[in-house]
Amino acid sequence: MLDPKLIRDNPEKIREMLKARALDFSMDDFIKLDKERRELIIKTDELRKTKNQISVEIARKKKSNEDTSGLIGQMQSVSQELQRLEESQEKAEDAYKKLSLTLPNLIHESVPIGKDETANKEIKKWGNKPTFDFKILDHIDLTQNLGLVDLERAAKVSGARFYYLKNQLVRLNQALIQFALDFLSEKNYTPIQTPYMINRNSMEGAIIAQDFEDVIYKVEGEDLYLIGTSEHAIASMYCDEIIEGKSLPLRYAGVSSCFRKEAGAHGRDQKGIFRVHQFDKVEQFVFSRPEESWNEHERMLSLVEEFYQKIGIPYRIMLLSSGDTGKISAKTYDLEAWMAGQNSYREITSCSNCLEFQARRLKIRFRDRTDEQPQYLHTLNSTLVATTRTMVAILENFQTKDGHVSIPHALQKYIGSNTI
């Protein structure tokens, strides 16, 4: 959600953003609705004032045993009128809120303008792509040959895009989680394992309406949704709270399973474990002072880089274009890992600054002194490791001539072995 005052005073800024994101949104309707809503607030407030005055007067007269029948008659008509006004005010308020929840975040000035991922900008490359003196396999063949994944039975039991992990791949999955938690703990992040289901209010604070359809699973008959990432559960943690300024930044290392519908991804990455409905993830989530959030953003990205350097996966960093940036984010970096079996770089992490967008939706504020106005803080999130995708990169890049996979040095102590 954006600052209503900003929308009112600088509508051209919002129009610019909508154009950059290539979105249809009627700003004129929105501004009209805002005006309507505020006029109704003023009207109802005035009537309430009258009502309060009469009410006080009735109380006073009753105390001194004076006649109140005239006043009570007045109150009756005021109350009726007020009820009518309140109804239309509520309607206007709801319409405004509904529309404002669909409005995406601002775009940072450093973000390249473009309609889709073709306008993304590569800003860095790290590592040497591995070379092989034998015919290499993709992760699908590797996992089949080594008995690491059972897709057929998962399809039977759950459906497409599900999987059974088996044998050493289960250990690799755990090793990545453990390594990621150790890594972030060293950087003073607080480990946190979140609820995997959250209610609608929390979900609405963390994501934008459209995503409910495309990404989020609903639990039937309950006000509960499966989280698409621990980000959703961490963002809503401090909902409706005012945080002491001195405790910022709050840095969390969230660990959870993640659940995604992957609607609209038909045909893409149909096989294997690259694009699946369920995976584990260690996530960085930061609640930051507004003036610090851009530093935090760069810091998060640098930690992601350090992590993949330690594992030894070649990557490139992409700055997403305006059209490819998620609606809640003002600026997003993706880390794309080299995947030898596919002979291409593929997205494995995403690092975003949401500014006050989520905080405003969730009413998360902070203040340094109790006598000052609380202000919205900034929220940032970045994948550290989404285990399935990182495992694909490891399997494909670290495969050996004999059809096995060597385990990256940094992970060996967690598995107690150096090959799969």
In the complex, the smallest distance separating the C-beta of residue 188 from RNA, rounded to whole angstroms, is 24
CA–CA separation, 301 and 299 (whole Å): 5
In the complex, the smallest distance separating the C-beta of residue 44 from RNA, rounded to whole angstroms, is 6
Phi, psi of 318 (to 5 degrees): -110, 135
213 binds RNA (CB under 7 A): no
Phi, psi of 366 (to 5 degrees): -145, 160
Choose between 13 and 48: whose C-beta lies nearer to RNA: 48
Positions in 126-165 near RNA (CB under 7 A): none
CA–CA separation, 168 and 419 (whole Å): 9
> Using CB under 7 A, which of 11, 374, 412, 417 touches RNA?
374
Part of the chain binding RNA (CB under 7 A), chosen from 143-151, 253-261, 321-329, 367-375: 367-375
In the complex, the smallest distance separating the C-beta of residue 353 from RNA, rounded to whole angstroms, is 22
Choose between 128 and 373: whose C-beta lies nearer to RNA: 373
User: Cα Rg for the chain, rounded, in angstroms?
Assistant: 27
Q: Which residues of 280-292 are buried (b: 16+ CB within 10 A; e: fewer)?
A: bbbbbbbbbbeeb
- Binding residues for RNA, rule CB under 7 A, total 28
Let me know: does 276 contact 163? Beta carbons within 8 Å. Answer: yes
User: Could you tell me the two tokens for 52?
Assistant: 């309060």
What 8-state DSSP symbol labels residue 246? G
Choose between 48 and 310: whose C-beta lies nearer to RNA: 48
Choose between 119 and 192: whose C-beta lies nearer to RNA: 192
Let me know: does 234 contact 192? Beta carbons within 8 Å. Answer: yes
Let me know: does 289 contact 376? Beta carbons within 8 Å. Answer: no
Let me know: does 377 contact 366? Beta carbons within 8 Å. Answer: yes
- Residue 302 has a CB neighbour count (10 Å cut-off) of 11
> Using CB under 7 A, which of 239, 242, 243, 410 touches RNA?
242
Choose between 371 and 402: whose C-beta lies nearer to RNA: 371
Positions in 280-309 near RNA (CB under 7 A): none
Name 347's bridge partners.
336
In the complex, the smallest distance separating the C-beta of residue 350 from RNA, rounded to whole angstroms, is 30
User: Could you tell me the two tokens for 419?
Assistant: 């090959």
In the complex, the smallest distance separating the C-beta of residue 45 from RNA, rounded to whole angstroms, is 4
Choose between 196 and 414: whose C-beta lies nearer to RNA: 196
Choose between 60 and 124: whose C-beta lies nearer to RNA: 60
> Using CB under 7 A, which of 139, 260, 361, 365 touches RNA?
365
CA–CA separation, 336 and 320 (whole Å): 12
| Residue matched to tokens 């291409």 | 344
Nearest by Cα to 38 from 5, 77, 11: 5
Choose between 45 and 122: whose C-beta lies nearer to RNA: 45
- Residue 46 has a CB neighbour count (10 Å cut-off) of 11
> Using CB under 7 A, which of 65, 118, 131, 370 touches RNA?
370
Positions in 35-94 near RNA (CB under 7 A): 38, 41-42, 44-46, 48-49, 51-53, 55-56, 58-59, 62, 72, 75-76, 79
Sites of contact with RNA (CB under 7 A) = 4, 38, 41-42, 44-46, 48-49, 51-53, 55-56, 58-59, 62, 72, 75-76, 79, 242, 365, 369-371, 373-374
